[in-house]
Amino acid sequence: MNIAFTLFRLKNQLSSFFASTRTAHKMAEAFLKPRRSEVKDWELRAELKGERFNLSDEVSAIRWSASAENTSSKQILLVHGWESRATHMYGFVDGLLAQGYSVVALDMPGHGRSPGKSSNAHLFAKTVLLAEKTLGDFSVIIGHSMGASATSIAVGNGLKPEKMILISGPSSIENSIRHFTRIIGFNKRTSDHFIGNISKYVGVPFHQLDATNLLKECEIPTLLIHDESDKEVLHSESKRLESVLQNSHLMTTQGLGHRQILKAQPVLQAIADFVANESHFLPMMKSK
C-alpha cells in the first residue's frame, strides 16, 4: 500500500468518525462520476479496424466485422467495466471474428466517447437492454467487472442471449460497494450512509441489482472467469453467482488480478472454446 493511499485512507477514517453523514454524501457524489483515462496507441489502432456508430444520443458504440462484405446476423456484445471503455475489450475481437461473428462493443454513459459525467450499474444494464432492442439478438454477451454485473441484471430483466461470459463481476452491487468502503477506510455508519446515498442517486433498491436474486432460474449457459487474487472484486462474488446459475462453470485464474485477465491467453482461449462449443457447455455443467 503506497504512502498516498495510506494517507487517503487515514483521512477517510478520521472524517467518517467525526463527520459521517457529510463524508458519505460527498464521497457518493464523486463515486458516481467515472474518471476517463488517456487513450492508448493500441486503442487507436483498434478503432481504425472497426466502425463507430451511435446507439443513441447518450451511447457511442463500435462494430468490428471480419470484412466489409460480412453480413452475418450472428453478433456478440462486449460490455466493459467501470472507468473503462469499448476498446479495452478489443483483446477478444480477433478470436470472435474468426468464428464468423460480428462484434459490437459499447461505451457506457459517462465512459469512452459516450457523453455524460455520471453513471451507475442500473444505467449500464439499461444500456445493454437498449443494445438488444436496437441491434437485435446477441448470440453471446461478454461482460467485465461492472459490465458483467450489468449483463446479469439485464438478463434478469428479460435479455436472452444464447450464452454469456461474466468476467470478474460482482454478484451484488451492494457487496461490491461495501468492499470498496472497507478498502478506503469508512466505518460501518459511514458505509451505511454512503450506500443509502448511492441507492437514492441510482433510483433502484439494491436487492433489484443483486444477480443472485435475478438469476435463480437462469439456464443460459454461462462461463464465469475470476482471478483468485482480484482485490477490486472478490473471487467470492463469482462463487456466489455460480451457486444459483443452473448451467455454469467457474474458471479461476491466478496472478492476473482484475484487469490483466482481459488479455491473458488462457482466458482468451477458454472464451473462444466456450463460444465455439455447440453443445452449449453441457459437458462442463456443474452437478446439482
> How much of the chain exceeds pLDDT 90, in percent?
84
Domain boundaries, the chain: 3-34+77-277
Largest Cα–Cα distance in the chain? 64
Q: What is the pLDDT of residue 285?
A: 39
> In this predicted structure, what is the pLDDT of residue 287?
35
The whole-model pTM stands at 0.92
Determine the pLDDT at residue 73: 72
Q: What is the pLDDT of residue 92?
A: 96
CA atoms within 13 A on the CB side of 82: 22
CB 182: neighbour CB atoms within 10 A?
12
Of 152-156, 166-170, 204-208, 250-254, the poorest mean pLDDT is in 204-208
Given a cut of 60, whether residue 284 has pLDDT beyond it is no
Q: Residue 157 — φ and ψ, nearest 5°?
A: -110, 25
Instruction: Kindly list the distances between the CA atom of residue 260 and the CA atoms of 89, 113, 172, 195, 264, in Å, as whole numbers in the listed order.
Output: 11, 23, 22, 29, 6
Nearest Cα neighbor of 124 from 154, 103, 144, 104 is 154
Please give the torsion angle defined by the CA atoms of residues 236, 241, 246 and 252, in that order, rounded to the nearest 10 degrees. Answer: -40
pLDDT at 121: 95
**Domain 3-34+77-277 class in CATH:** alpha beta
What single-letter amino acid sits at 68? A
Residue-level pLDDT at 71? 52
What pLDDT sits at residue 230?
A: 96
The per-residue pLDDT for range 39-91, each reduced to its tens digit, is 999 999 999 999 999 999 999 999 999 875 555 679 999 999 999 999 999 99
Per-residue confidence band for 279, with pLDDT thresholds at 50, 70 and 90: low
pLDDT at 2: 81
pLDDT, mean of residues 214-228? 95
Q: Any idea which of 18-32, 99-113, 198-212, 268-282 has the lowest mean pLDDT?
A: 268-282
pLDDT tens string 190-200: 999 999 999 99
Between residues 225 and 29, the one the model is more confident about: 225
